[in-house]
Amino acid sequence: MSKLKEDLRVGILGAAAGLLSISVALLIARIDAYYSYLSWLKETDYVYDREVESLWWIPFSFWHLLISVVASLLVHRYLTICRRSPFLLWQVIGITCLLGWVLTFFLTVSMESLMHGDLYSLQHPLNLLDVGYVAKYVAAVFACNVFYGSVMQASSLQYAEPQLNFDQ
């Protein structure tokens, strides 16, 4: 039962880290969209001719949350060497999340290539705007894991060594 409690605690910590990093990335995307909208308003005279933005980020947010929880559980379970430093542990979790995204992208492109029988998805790389979003996302994940690792280092009792009291 103790292992189940620890896994639940680690899963909740991973979900919190995932929510923090995806919310910061979405905040950056919203700021970019707002400034893009302001520049669009400056260029055109049509105020009400713009459609509402689609909610493309919802599946990506759930997938990032799932990757964060799985990465947190895997790193806490199998990488016991970093238990001494929660800061480094959460950096490894962040890198594992990014590796999960790389694996997801690779599998998606591979499956699309296998299903269609051509390399269309590899022939047309991401445009410059998409590369900018990916770079902002990676920077947000690293920054959030630095912040989250620092908070865990300073405040978490889960990573503290148990103190034996021999005075009794």
Read off the pLDDT of residues 124-160 as tens digits, 9 standing for 90 and up.
655 656 777 778 888 888 888 888 888 877 776 666 5
Q: Which two tokens stand for residue 116?
A: 């269609």
pLDDT of 164 higher than 60: no
> What CA–CA distance (Å, rounded) separates 83 from 116?
45
- Domain total of the chain: 1
Please indicate, yes or no, if residue 65 is contained in any of the structural domains. Answer: yes
Please indicate, yes or no, if residue 130 is contained in any of the structural domains. Answer: yes
pLDDT tens digits along 13-35: 888 888 888 888 888 888 888 88
Please indicate, yes or no, if residue 164 is contained in any of the structural domains. Answer: no
Q: Share the mean pLDDT of the chain.
A: 79
Please indicate, yes or no, if residue 163 is contained in any of the structural domains. Answer: no
Please indicate, yes or no, if residue 162 is contained in any of the structural domains. Answer: no
Please indicate, yes or no, if residue 160 is contained in any of the structural domains. Answer: no
Domain that holds residue 104: 2-48+57-155
pLDDT of 67 higher than 90: yes
Please indicate, yes or no, if residue 168 is contained in any of the structural domains. Answer: no
pLDDT of 69 higher than 80: yes
Contacts (Cβ under 8 Å, ≥6 apart) of 8 = none
The pTM assigned to this predicted structure is 0.77
Instruction: Identify the pLDDT of residue 66.
Output: 94
Q: At which residue do the structure tokens 């990573």 appear? A: 159
Please indicate, yes or no, if residue 151 is contained in any of the structural domains. Answer: yes
Instruction: Identify the pLDDT of residue 150.
Output: 81
Q: Are 21 and 96 in contact (CB under 8 A)?
A: no
